[in-house]
Chains A and B, each alone.
Chain A
Amino acid sequence: MAQGLEVRNLERAFGNLRAVDRIDLTVKPGETIGFLGSNGAGKTTTMRMILNIVGPDAGTIRWNGQPVTGEVRKSFGYMPQERGLYARMGVLDQVVYFGRLAGLAKNDAKERADYWIARVGLSDRRKDLVQELSGGNQQRVQLAVSLVHDPDLLVLDEPFAGLDPIAAESMQEILAERSAAGASILLSSHQLDLVEGLCDSVVIISHGKQVAAGRPIDLRLDTPHRTLIVEWANNVGDWQPLSGSVDAFTGTRAEVTISATDDISNHISHALAAGPVVTLAVEPPTLASVFSDSIMHPLSPEHPEQASNAAEVVS
């Protein structure tokens, strides 16, 4: 029996707009999947369909091989993109309330709400109204709300938006801990460095269609370019690379885009020949550049299976 979340051929249109067009996703227990795409790509709609907030036109969503019922959904936790909290309700009351809606018994809900409010660092604000908190602190309450019932699946829509670096790090820690405890996590974010550190694999969608999927490092390596970075001790004047295009050159430092199939040793010898080298690196493109490339040049529609299978290859 398949474990975790399985989304197959999910479709949803709004009028003439195909917001979600045959999306596949697999999130196994203990796995964290990053869901990437530009604004309006269909991430939020997909997430809402997983939570049954929006109904799909076609496709299946299964949890542990079974259709998702209301009872099953009680083990899902959701953090929407914008704050979804009652402004004039106390922090503790709010977390307890959502815990109870997720089916927790009264004392249980109270205990866990206390735990999670402490965990997100808001113990001293637990009696305050949500509207009295800063945006970042409201975000923490939102996280506590999505975690209070100890969900097996966490769906987080832009969880890092608006968080300061310290708060973002603390959220990363909590997510890593939930993942280690066996939770499946699906998150969307535009902070690709965070995504790369946190996610086992990513799925990139554009205009409702999947355009790339895989482990971040695989996606980065599976590109035709590399970046060669050389820094010399002295000025090397009008140095030119063997091949490729120069992105930046200061006289002592050069960044060059070269082909992934080039023999690196030739580039290295060529750089060494110009003078004493202090730094030398050959890196695959960043996830951000993979992201913009895949959105700009999506896979041709003749090979949709190439895209849709990729997620499973990794997981």
Chain B
Amino acid sequence: MIWHIAKREILTRIQTRAFQVLTSILLLAVVGSSIAIGTLTGGNDEAEQVRIGVTSNGVAFADALDVGTDDLDVTIVDVANEAAGVTLIDSGEIEVLFTGDELVWESRPFGDTDVFIRTTVQQAAFGERASALDLGTTELGLLFEEVPIDERFLDGEDDEQLVRIAAAVASTLATFFFLQVWGSFLMMGVIEEKSTRVVEVLLSHITPRTLLTGKIIGLGVLALGQLLIIVAGIAAGLLVVQDIEIPSGVWSSVPLLLVTFILGYAFYAALFAAVGSTVSRQEDAQTAQLPAIMPLILGYGIAMSSIANPDSIVVSIASFIPFTSPVVLPFRVALADPPLWQVALSLAILAGSAPLMLRLAGQIYQSTLLNIGSRVPLGQAFKDRQTAR
């Protein structure tokens, strides 16, 4: 019976414009950003082509320049004189002309080529002068031995940290967005059934709990499907970016994100259904959903304001409270490395409260479902919840 209801929810929801538009936008966003990341980083993977014109005065350095670097693929073009070189620059056959004491560009250059030529020429000159001074390769090596210099940022930022912040923000945004959107969808469905009175016919065949469970499962399947598309898209995008190393913690937080989302969805879907059942008209939906939206926004706010400070006590506490944990827990895990037992405890609390919320919401839903007309205050609905059958 529950499956019939879930199936109807899925089939009718898939056919709605809201769903189609939302899914297309999400798909476009994910695919678009993957492509964008791919092109940006893909450009860096390939070495830049540069053709250097060299006159007779500069030809001594041609061999050294010809080596190039990983990022610079150098082609040496022999040029008779400066005038010929300038012509080649004008016709775009070389990028730069080296005359031995001058670099000639079309315009002020960007990128690494300028520095590359100067360093290479300097180094070649060092080699020549060293032999003039009778210095052997050993001495030369000693002379130019690199002084190792590491770098450190006081704000803790590094490449890995950036990726973790991105993962934390993405999962917080995704959970916040999905819980709110799908909670609202569910609520609209509840109100639709109330306002069209179809609920009366439904309840003559099935219990409110069956109806509520079926609706939650049906929309949940779609919500999870949509979330998986997003996660897959982001994962694909990150895989394209090969030169950014993804910390292993980010990958392991994906299943956690999904588990948290499923539990958080069950919790919030029940809450949205309960507040939805207190009104009979779509116009009242905005006001009615406040009790469900506020804690979500609170959790979102806590997470977003703690990016620089993910170890704060507020984040820790919020990751245990079932009203905020669906949004805050994935954030905390991605950014703060909480002890495993704390993550397990958070999930356990959420997993324990979801059925309680389902039960409470089911009772409120039952007692207010037939109350057509003005909005039932949530407090009243809570008090009346036992009186339904």
Contacts and interface: CB of A to CB of B under 8 A. Distances in A.
- Which among B201, B202, B388 has the highest number of chain A CB atoms within 10 Å? B201
A76 B206 CA distance: 12
A97 interface: yes
Contacts of A1: none
Interface residues of A, number: 28
A204 interface: no
B204 A51 contact: yes
Contact of B196 (A55, A73, A85): A85
Interface of B: 1, 4-5, 8, 12, 16, 192-193, 196-207, 370, 388-389
Nearest to A82: B197
Contacts of B199: 84
Interface in A59-79: 70, 73-74, 76, 78
B205 A98 contact: yes
Given A82-B197, A85-B198, A89-B12, A51 B203 contact: yes
A115 interface: no
B388 to A, nearest CB: 6
15 contacts: A48-B200, A54-B389, A55-B389, A73-B205, A76-B204, A80-B197, A82-B197, A84-B199, A84-B201, A87-B196, A88-B16, A98-B201, A98-B205, A100-B4, A101-B1
Contact of B388 (A51, A55, A83, A101): A55
B187 to A, nearest CB: 16
Contacts of A17: none
Contacts of B201: 78, 80, 84-85, 98, 142, 145-146
A101 B206 contact: yes
A83 B16 CA distance: 22
B15 to A, nearest CB: 8
Contacts of A80: 197, 200-201
Given A73-B204, A76-B204, A53 B4 contact: no
B198 A84 contact: yes
Task: Summarize A's interface: helix, strand, loop or mixed.
Answer: loop
Contact of B205 (A55, A83, A89, A101): A101
A219 B381 CA distance: 44
A86 interface: yes
Nearest to B387: A55
Nearest to A88: B12
B198 A86 contact: yes
B12 A52 contact: no
B207 A70 contact: yes
A199 interface: no
A102 B370 contact: no
A82 to B, nearest CB: 5
Contacts of A89: 8, 12
A58 to B, nearest CB: 13
A102 B1 CA distance: 9
Contacts of A97: 4, 8
B207 to A, nearest CB: 7
B196 A53 contact: no
A145 B192 CA distance: 18
A148 B1 CA distance: 17
A80 B196 CA distance: 11
A142 B199 CA distance: 13
Contacts of A146: 201
A101 to B, nearest CB: 4
A100 B197 CA distance: 19
Contacts of A55: 388-389
A104 B201 CA distance: 16
Contact of A101 (B4, B192, B193, B196): B4
B25 to A, nearest CB: 22
Nearest to B4: A100
Given A55-B388, A70-B207, A101 B202 contact: yes
Nearest to A49: B389
* Closest 9 pairs (CB-CB, A-B): A55-B389, A78-B204, A51-B204, A80-B200, A84-B201, A84-B197, A101-B205, A84-B198, A53-B203
A27 B309 CA distance: 71
